[in-house]
Amino acid sequence: MQGLEPIGEGLWSLRRVNRISRWPVHMSSHMTVVRVGGSDLLLHSPVPLAPADIDALLQLGRVRFIVAPNLYHYKFVAQARAAFPAAEVWAAPGLVALHPELQGSRELADDHPLVPAELSQRLVLGHAAHETAFFHSVSRTLILTDLAYNVGREAGLFETVFYWAHGAYRRRRVPRYHQRLITDRARFVAAFEALLRWDFDQLCVAHGTVLRTGGKAALREMWRFVLAA
């Protein structure tokens, strides 16, 4: 089992495969770990953590923030919170109302950035995910969750079929169902254009692998059907 992968200065990625039903059906996702404030850590979109993962994180620093960045990536927040009880939990707007077990977490808000000196953040309005995007300036990385995909040969059988069926396997596309998730195209495009003004090259995604370079062009391509409409 591969552990934390360094992907930049003060930045790591951790991929874990989760069983998503009582049938042997698996999907993978990534957590991004950001060093903040010198020796603290922010866990973005937690994945299920094995004891070795928790040890590795403890070696890196003190977990200060746990972030559920959109309405869909919250399932392993409780486990991360139990492992790092001193951490503040920050959740996408509306998430706590949907999942009361996340009581005690605070809502992500653009006017209350978590670590303004190191991470810019912006809520992407007009999309049902209510996702907050993060920009890590030191490594020129845009950290997204379900607003970008890079699914390739690392995918398991179910994932391969799933993303292939939705037009996003080994292609610069978001799965087709995102067309139905856009609730306000104008707001979405405005928010998205703001993300594209950040000076990033690397792109972190929840599903697939990190795009180490060329992330901006890839992201534009993924959403071309909306941006150019």
Nearest to Fe ion of 10, 175 (CB atom): 175
CA atoms within 13 A on the CB side of 17: 11
Contact between 131 and Fe ion by CB under 5 A: the answer reads: no
Q: C-beta of 59: minimal distance to Fe ion in Å?
A: 28
Interface region with Fe ion, contact rule CB under 5 A, candidates 2-10, 38-46, 91-99, 145-153: 145-153
Contact between 147 and Fe ion by CB under 5 A: the answer reads: no
Nearest to Fe ion of 58, 165 (CB atom): 165
3-class SS of residue 212? coil
Nearest to Fe ion of 10, 69 (CB atom): 69
Question: Out of 53, 118, 131, 146, which residue is the one contacting Fe ion (CB under 5 A)?
Answer: 146
Q: Which residue is nearest to Fe ion (CB)?
A: 146
Nearest to Fe ion of 64, 149 (CB atom): 149
Contact between 7 and Fe ion by CB under 5 A: the answer reads: no
- What tokens were used for 115? 């670590």
Contact between 159 and Fe ion by CB under 5 A: the answer reads: no
CB within 8 A of 224, min separation 6: which ones? none
Contact between 31 and Fe ion by CB under 5 A: the answer reads: no
Nearest to Fe ion of 206, 210 (CB atom): 206
Question: Out of 206, 211, 219, 222, which residue is the one contacting Fe ion (CB under 5 A)?
Answer: 206
Distance CA 192, CA 126 (A): 10
Distance CA 203, CA 209 (A): 9
Interface region with Fe ion, contact rule CB under 5 A, candidates 31-39, 78-86, 179-187, 206-214: 206-214
The answer to whether 20 and 75 have CB atoms below 8 angstroms apart is: no
One-letter identity of residue 155: A
Binding residues with Fe ion: total (CB under 5 A): 2
3-class SS string, 81-150: HHHCCCCEEEECCCHHHHCHHHCCCEECCCCCCCCCCCEEEEECCCECCCCEEEEECCCCEEECCCCCEE
In the complex, the residues that contact Fe ion under the rule CB under 5 A are 146, 206
